Chain A
């Protein structure tokens, strides 16, 4: 709230019946000592239109959900201008980022048991994250775009209400990389990186405060990729094309896990994070600073670096990093001596090795991969799970247990948490 002293321009005059005041505090004051002016008592009330100043209206509007704001653009030209103002959009976003009611889950569903290619179109659904129950009861389909027919869409990343999606457009046969805001339904096409096919890449999108720009990073790290690892960066406002960056030569891909252990990079403290393998050593968290594009490392505790070991019968099935409530977290699903386990650690002090603390620990021999998605207000962590034998089948669970039933085994699904925001993809220069 900005600190401005504003004078009420309208003198609100109200004359009212003295006897109508029956408020305790009024009569509790020391009546003898404080002089009281006799009031004119008038029977008629004057109802004067009270106008609120702009800064109060902005304060109220910044707390409204995006849908209401879109409707209220019709109120007047002044309100339309206020709501469309870039400064207002940022103010709204900053509030939404900290508001649990503005966090939503975006799910993409593509059914593979359809016979016709044209039926394998991806549909998107949004649901509330206010509680585990709401996640399922609230699911609403969100129309992607009238311009495209997304086939087998992949959700690549999300940031500040913008979601990055890659798909094949059935009408033109082109691979499209699209930046979409599910709350405003606006979308734009972005240029493709040289690193194709995109299914070999893990992606991350973040806001760089230094250059006041959004940057997208793609690195060919997935289980499909082989050969040299390379990084490409796209700055959305400045520069319309992808730049290549070198990747540290002594860090290699994590082998044998699904998609290098994560769906998208963890963006925290101005850097992207993922898990890498130091040759001849164990896993480390690799970081890439969004402003100066410098790589860094964050160490893991020894007990977090379980390696595949025939003798000790340890089999790492899945591992990766994510963010939860502003903290970096590391998770792994592994199979040890016949027992399946999932462990989630959070780094309470960023960069401090000793601050890795276990948050969730689950024993379940059927687990294949478990990834944390979100932490609810009551502390429960939302987990997205795949089970042995039904790898394509996703189930949601919290540390208390599973809930949520997915429609069909033949549905390919992806999910990402996003914030409802007014940030428009159309503002970016490279489109």
Chain B
């Protein structure tokens, strides 16, 4: 055997939030983010993330740590974690998905977008506008026209429509 046996010391990275808060994390876990992976390949160890605030970064690190431990036996455990992870307000989810998109964490983007879809699918049109901060740019006549085109979609199952913006 060759004498130079490498004792693999876990390489650590430092992630810096937009508020200049710094967090230490194993490189092997952090590279679940495509963005961070690219920067590591360019030899960065201190990774500035000016687009991610501390609170969001903490959540993301939590996610990456959990998913970094993924094995064949703890699939259910991770599923439970994911289920709990998305039980957040729409505002928090928005910040998370923006950060996950910036950081290029595909599995997290999928998880968050699916959570959004599941929660908004029965919402009323007004609730959607509130959740996404979208002003109504239809005139009343225009909106009535669009409504008429798919009247059945609005009318059938009307009793299940959720009007809350949460």
List the interface of chain A (C-beta within 8 A of B): 1, 3, 5-8, 11-16, 21, 23, 25-26, 29-30, 34-37, 39, 47, 49-53, 55-57, 59-61, 63-68, 70-80, 143, 184-185
Contacts and interface: CB of A to CB of B under 8 A. Distances in A.
Contact of A25 (B61, B116, B154): B61
A65 B121 CA distance: 7
A221 to B, nearest CB: 37
B24 A75 contact: no
Nearest to B157: A67
Nearest to B61: A25
A383 B37 CA distance: 49
A63 B116 CA distance: 9
B150 interface: yes
A74 B146 contact: yes
A51 to B, nearest CB: 6
Contact of B117 (A15, A30, A63): A63
B33 to A, nearest CB: 12
B80 interface: no
B101 A6 contact: yes
A36 B113 contact: no
B85 to A, nearest CB: 13
20 contacts: A23-B58, A23-B62, A25-B58, A26-B58, A29-B23, A37-B20, A51-B132, A56-B98, A56-B101, A56-B109, A61-B117, A63-B117, A65-B121, A67-B156, A71-B154, A73-B146, A73-B150, A75-B136, A76-B137, A79-B134
Interface in B98-130: 98-99, 101-102, 104, 106, 109-110, 113-114, 116-117, 120-122, 125, 128-129
Interface of B is mostly: helix
Cβ-closest 4 pairs across A and B: A70-B153, A63-B117, A70-B150, A49-B133
Interface of B: 14, 18-24, 34-35, 51, 53-55, 58, 61-62, 65, 91, 94-95, 97-99, 101-102, 104, 106, 109-110, 113-114, 116-117, 120-122, 125, 128-129, 132-138, 143, 146-147, 149-150, 152-154, 156-157
Nearest to B132: A52
A11 B137 CA distance: 26
A64 B109 contact: no
Contacts of A184: 150
Contacts of B153: 66-67, 70-71
Nearest to B114: A63
Contacts of B14: 34
Contacts of A76: 129, 134-138
